[in-house]
Amino acid sequence: MLAETAFVTPATPYHPGEEAAVPARSQIGLHAAKLGLQGGAFAVFALVLLIFALSSPIFLSPFNLGNILAQSAISGVLAIGLTVVIIAGGGNVVTGGIDLSLAANMGLSAAVYASLSQAGQPDAVAAGAALATGLVIGAVNAVAVTRFAIVPLLATLAVMNIVGGLELVLTQNTVIPAVTPLLETLSGAGPLGVPVLAYGLIGFALVTALAVQATPLGLRIQAVGSFPEAARASGLAVNRFVAGSFLFSGLSGGLAGIFSAAYLSGSTTGAGELLLPVVVTALLGPVFSRRLVPSITGTLLSALFVGVLINGFQLLNLSSTLVSGIQGLLILLVVSATTLLKRKEG
Amino acid sequence: MTALSPSLAPQTRRRLALGSRHALPVALVAVFLLFSALAPGFLSLANLESVLVNNFTLLSIVAIAMTFAIAAGGIDLSIGTAVDFASFSFVTLVLSGQPVPLALAAGLGGGALVGLFNAVLIAGIGISPFLATLGTLFIGRSVQQLLTNGGNPVYLPPAGVPESFRFLGRGTVAGLPVPLLVAGAIILIAGLILSRSRFGRVVSATGTEAEVVRYSGLTLKAHLAGTYVLVALIAAVAGLVLTSTVTVYIPSSGNAFLLNAIGAAFIGTTLHPHGRPNIAGTVLGVLLLSLVANGLLMSGLNFYWQQVGTGLLIFTVLALSFASRKA
């Protein structure tokens, strides 16, 4: 795992005083509990894979696995964008980093792409415009949060409304079909018969993970989010990093828009419904990271885990409505466990 | 921003008092004048009553519930789930032929159940309210789909329903619509509880200085638990009024209130000298959202532009109040 190797400091706020105050024996216990929790997430993932593999013969087929990756591509890209905002803005979900406009952004970007394609514009123009749309939305969020000092939760909530409305205005709440060479390539099969969308997700996740978890830039982004005062004291322009994180999430909204246009052969309505699943995916990410903190690799795994659940339920003909309940239960279990663990530590 | 970040430096807090408080009242007056001039029919008595009954009542009840959660330093994303559970229990009991008062009580109970679940997670286990109620929201959605065969609405046949069922949503007392009276009563009681009662003061203290509440020997957990049950109970009232008005239960429909309720409650904080959540502010916030929704409709604007307009307006109010706090 790429993990958070770039950011290993002796004492982090996640386990304060671990070295000093906690007696050796309970420290071992805590380490065991933490390993158990983190290993537990992987064990659950493995167990779920095993159950689906045993109960459905086609689950493990390369075609189906590729399908899972492609299905997860849209929410995965969005959740990774959100994770960057959370890392740079800090983990407090109300005052810290959050971007509620991401799903609406994806919807508008897809609509922009589909509309321009339908108007006869070439792919380069349509795709460029979709990415630009995402970027502009990110810029508005960035200005609202850093210049106007609006709490991210509220700023992005208002922007979500505006963007959702603009999508309705543009599409008149209808489906805009789009068939273009770019979309056909994206939704088609790539090397090894795996959908190109799947490569898109993995590629996007790898590049982002490298940037955030293995470069000095990434180290700074994490410092800004976790220790804003210290970061400011050491001369980092905190606001610039926060603004940058919103620009990045805006761009991932635009990219997810193109992916979604490819996956659905055009733009459809109801993009906003993806918001909460994406938030849950990003918030579930920490269990798949070594120190139980938000990370790109963790979010990718979390997105794949949710994708596997949805896909497996479909194969087993189970009601996909259960997925939402299971996601809810998982997040509560995970968060309860981490909360109780931290309380023991403190 | 004290409501959100208790760790602000003292000098920042003092600055919050300046300049920001007028954004909301000014916006209200401006919006009112603007639509009076632009939208024919906006100023008519019938239309203003429709704003209050159709736009204002339900959202004001839900937003007041949300105000308590935010005052306690948290948030309740599952507030629509409480609305839905109340609605579902109410409809189910009426359909099975139970008397309406019993069904109403069951509705409140159904809503309170959601609050109890949140209380256990937040006060009992200590999960952050955002995550706890997000989990509740997701579980609630699945539960409702399981209860309704995959999310089918439950209609009440007009013939088989007692007249008293519609009283809460469509009745009038002394010429005034009952939903409006219910909302008025809740506004008054909630205002008294939050700013005049001991419970309300501890809730507010929990939101600003949770540590101090703990050191003062106050029962932080009990008050937190009580807050989330109260939030769900108030939201349940909205569910009952809603169901009585539309005579149908639609699974997960309560979520439609969520974002506007959060928006109204936070816009309302701009009215308070220290940016704290308060009932008067929330009510004005809901009024602003209602006037804008109705005004945009009355000015004949395309339905889709209404959402853009609402969003732009909220954004402007937030930008004005937060930017002036920062300066």
Decide: A323 and A310 in contact? Cβ < 8 Å.
Answer: yes
Residue B150 to residue A276, Cβ atoms within 8 A: no
Under DSSP, is residue A113 helix (H, G, I), strand (E, B) or coil?
helix
- What does the block give as tokens for A124? 């380069």
Residue A332 to residue B128, Cβ atoms within 8 A: no
B229 in any annotated domain:
yes
Per-residue pLDDT tens over the stretch B13-68: 444 434 467 778 888 888 889 888 888 888 888 888 888 888 899 999 999 999 99
Under DSSP, is residue A330 helix (H, G, I), strand (E, B) or coil?
helix
B13 in any annotated domain:
no
Flag whether residue B152 sits within 8 Å of chain A, measured between CB atoms.
Answer: no
Task: For chain A, give every domain's residue range.
Answer: 24-53+70-345
The residues in B 3-22 lying below 8 A from A, measured between CB atoms, are: 4-5
Domain limits for position B126:
21-33+43-319
Distance from the Cα of B75 to chain A's closest Cα (Å) equals: 8
Distance from the Cα of A152 to chain B's closest Cα (Å) equals: 11
Q: How many CA atoms lie within 13 A of B304 on its CB side?
A: 13
Q: Nearest residue of A to residue B318 by CA position?
A: A150
Decide: A154 and B266 in contact? Cβ < 8 Å.
Answer: yes
Rg (alpha carbons) of chain A, rounded to whole number = 20
Flag whether residue A336 sits within 8 Å of chain B, measured between CB atoms.
Answer: yes
Cβ-nearest to B307 among A95, A165, A340: A165
Residue B126 to residue A343, Cβ atoms within 8 A: yes
Q: Which amino acid, A270?
A: G
Flag whether residue A335 sits within 8 Å of chain B, measured between CB atoms.
Answer: yes
**Domain boundaries A24-53+70-345, corresponding CATH code:** 1.10.3470
Nearest to A171 by CA among A260, A111, A257, A103: A111
Does B79 have pLDDT greater than 90? yes
B174 torsion bin: left (phi>0), alpha (psi -120 to 50), beta (else): left
Residue B145 to residue A321, Cβ atoms within 8 A: yes
Interface probe with B: pick from A145, A157, A279, A343, most Cβ of B within 10 Å = A157
Q: How many CA atoms lie within 13 A of B11 on its CB side?
A: 1
* pLDDT tens, residue order, chain A (346 aa): 344 333 333 333 444 333 344 445 566 666 666 666 667 778 878 888 888 888 888 888 888 888 888 889 999 999 999 999 999 888 665 667 889 999 999 999 999 999 999 888 888 999 999 999 999 999 999 999 998 888 888 889 889 989 998 999 898 888 888 888 888 888 888 787 788 999 999 999 999 999 988 888 888 888 888 888 888 888 888 888 899 999 999 999 999 999 999 988 888 887 877 888 898 888 888 888 877 788 899 999 999 988 888 888 888 777 667 777 877 887 787 777 777 776 665 5
Residues 6+ apart with CB under 8 A from B185: none
Per-residue pLDDT tens over the stretch B111-143: 999 999 999 999 888 888 888 898 898 889 889
Nearest to B241 by CA among B172, B193, B327, B169: B169
The residues in B 85-104 lying below 8 A from A, measured between CB atoms, are: none
Residue B311 to residue A165, Cβ atoms within 8 A: yes
Q: Nearest residue of A to residue B145 by CA position?
A: A321
Which uninterrupted H or E stretch holds B227? Answer: helix B220-246
Tell me how many domains chain B contains.
1
Flag whether residue A154 sits within 8 Å of chain B, measured between CB atoms.
Answer: yes
Q: Which residues of A touch B75 (CB under 8 A)?
A: 94
Residue B326 to residue A149, Cβ atoms within 8 A: yes
B282 in any annotated domain:
yes
B109 in any annotated domain:
yes
pLDDT of residue B255: 83
Neighbours of B152 (CB within 10 A): 12
- The 8-class DSSP code of residue A209 comes to H
Q: Which residues of A touch B318 (CB under 8 A)?
A: 144, 148, 150, 154-155, 158
Q: Nearest residue of B to residue A148 by CA position?
A: B323
B161 in any annotated domain:
yes
Does B276 have pLDDT greater than 60? yes
Distance from the Cα of A95 to chain B's closest Cα (Å) equals: 6
d(CA B128, CA B69): 12
Distances (CA, A) of B21 to B17, B70, B320, B322: 7, 18, 10, 10
Residue B145 to residue A173, Cβ atoms within 8 A: no
Q: Nearest residue of B to residue A155 by CA position?
A: B315
Residue A321 to residue B146, Cβ atoms within 8 A: yes
B115 in any annotated domain:
yes
Cβ-nearest to B139 among A155, A325, A335: A325
Q: Nearest residue of B to residue A278 by CA position?
A: B134
pLDDT of residue A93: 59
pLDDT of residue A101: 93
Residue A280 to residue B134, Cβ atoms within 8 A: yes
Q: What is the DSSP string of B160-215?
A: TS-GGGGHHHH-EETTEEHHHHHHHHHHHHHHHHHHHSHHHHHHHHHHH-HHHHHH
Q: Which residues of A touch B1 (CB under 8 A)?
A: 149, 151
Residue B130 to residue A94, Cβ atoms within 8 A: yes
Q: Nearest residue of B to residue A284 by CA position?
A: B131
pLDDT of residue B268: 87
Residues 6+ apart with CB under 8 A from B4: A94, A95, A151
Q: Which residues of A touch B141 (CB under 8 A)?
A: 321, 324-325, 328
Interface A-B: count of C-beta contacts within 8 A: 153
What is the domain-level CATH number for residue B178? Answer: 1.10.3470
ipTM score assigned to the predicted complex: 0.75
Residue A340 to residue B125, Cβ atoms within 8 A: yes
Residue B150 to residue A173, Cβ atoms within 8 A: no
Helices B258-269 & A152-171 angle (0-180, nearest 10): 130
Cβ-nearest to A164 among B151, B263, B307: B307
Per-residue pLDDT tens over the stretch A40-56: 778 878 888 888 888 88
Q: Nearest residue of B to residue A141 by CA position?
A: B315
How many residues does this entry show for chain B?
327
List the beta bridge partners of residue B177: B172
Q: Nearest residue of A to residue B118 by CA position?
A: A332
